[in-house]
Amino acid sequence: MPGPSSLISVSNKFTFVLRAVKMPELTVTSEIYGEYNYNTKITPLIEGKHSSKTKLALVGLQVWRGAFLIGDLLIYLGVKGALKEKTILELGAGTGLTSFIAGIYAKKVICTDINLGGILDLIKLNTKYNEKLIKAEFRVDALDFTNMAWSQQLSKDIRDTDIIIAADVVYDDDVTAAFVATVQKILNTNSPKTLYMALEKRYVFTIEHMDSVAPCYETFLSLLDKVKNGSNWTVEQMTLDFPEYFTYDRVKELVLWKISSA
Ligand SMILES: C[S@@+](CC[C@H](N)C(=O)[O-])C[C@H]1O[C@@H](n2cnc3c(N)ncnc32)[C@H](O)[C@@H]1O
């Protein structure tokens, strides 16, 4: 049974309970936009809600459910010792929270996002808040899915990467296409590598289908199908049978994929 709880807070407004299982008390502190000047006039989040007010380009300035799901998975793997000596690369990291969890257990973490709207500054600030928690060598870098001309340092880090994590980066067809192309290149660079990605199927009702469909998820599946054909990848949708360390809704639309290159 889960033991006593630890608190993980994301800014002063958000507090998440970490149900600790044989874990020391941990506190992750994170600033989200609205409490810092990120050159945006968008109104802050409403407490306890995943706001839909964020501009699409700035969705990294809040924490999404996929981040908690990957966080749960990392704690589960970390406690088992499966992340020891691993280099972990996060794509579309947002606030950086998932990378900080990875940083508790891994050897090295490269936390990346697009260099837009102050996201990288936010991650760097949050990294500072959590420096006591992060045991891994930790680097924040820009990685834009639409630009695969990686710097020398990033190319080296990607070669050395064992595990890639990505939470909630499938929400727009163009971003999804660029993300899948990036994943294809990374997974095929100095394999084997394993990607864990969490995403939330977002349903809309369309007259065309006269039904509720999750168009971005469908786009992702069809792009994934194309790139995995002819590859040596293993692709599986994971069962969510590991503990919930964070308190959030593991809604049925939340799914986790594991893709490994041999
Ligand atoms: C919905 S947010 C998820 C953030 C975080 N992973 C989470 O789950 O809380 C999507 C993330 O994808 C990033 N993103 C969007 N376009 C991108 C691109 N072209 N290259 C890299 N990251 C991108 C955003 O900046 C944002 O951090």
- What are the structure tokens assigned to 103, written together? 């940083």
71 lines ligand 1 (CB under 6 A): no
The rounded mean pLDDT for the chain is 83
* pTM to 2 decimal places: 0.84
Alpha-carbon gap, residue 75 to 103, rounded angstroms: 10
Task: Find which of 14-28, 95-109, 119-133 is predicted with most confidence, using mean pLDDT.
Answer: 95-109
Closest atom of ligand 1 to 67 CA is 8
Q: Quote the tokens at residue 256.
A: 């986790």
pLDDT in tens, 21-35: 444 455 555 555 444
Note the pLDDT of residue 63: 86
Average pLDDT over residues 20-49: 45
pLDDT of residue 14: 42
Please write the tens of the pLDDT for every residue from 70-90. 999 999 999 999 999 999 999
For residue 84, the model assigns a pLDDT of 97
| Ligand 1 lined by 165 (C-beta under 6 Å) | no
Q: Which residues contact 164 (CB under 8 A, 6 or more apart)?
A: 88, 89, 90, 91, 183, 186, 187, 193, 194, 195, 196
Q: Is the CB of 178 under 6 A from ligand 1?
A: yes
User: Bigger pLDDT: 95 or 4?
Assistant: 95
Ligand 1 pocket residue status of 200, Cβ below 6 Å: no
Higher pLDDT, 212 or 29: 212
Identify the pLDDT of residue 17.
Answer: 42
Nearest CA owner, ligand 1 atom 11? 92
Give 113 Cα–ligand 1 centroid separation in angstroms: 6
* Ligand 1 contacts CB of residue 8 (under 6 A): no
Which amino acid residue places its CA nearest to atom 16 of ligand 1? 175
The pLDDT, as a whole number, for residue 53 is 44
Residue 111 has pLDDT above 60, yes or no: yes
- Tens digit of pLDDT for each residue in 181-208? 999 999 999 999 999 999 998 877 777 7
Render pLDDT for 150-193 as a digit per residue (tens, 0 to 9): 999 999 999 999 999 999 999 899 999 999 999 999 999 999 99
DSSP 132-195: TT--SEEEEEE--TT-----HHHHHHHHH-SEEEEES--SSHHHHHHHHHHHHHHHTSSS-EEE
- Does the beta carbon of 146 sit less than 6 angstroms from any atom of ligand 1? yes
For residue 91, CA distances in Å to 55, 78, 109, 221 come to 19, 19, 11, 18
Tell me, using a 6 A CB cutoff, whether residue 101 lines ligand 1. Answer: no
* Contact yes or no for 259/197 (Cβ under 8 A): yes
Q: Kindly list the structural domains of the chain, giving each domain's residue range(s) and its CATH number in brackets, ordered by start.
A: 55-261 (3.40.50.150)
Written as six digits, the tokens of 49 are: 């809600």
Q: Which atom of ligand 1 is nearest to the CA of 94?
A: 27
From the list 167, 168, 115, the residue with the least C-alpha distance to 145 is 115
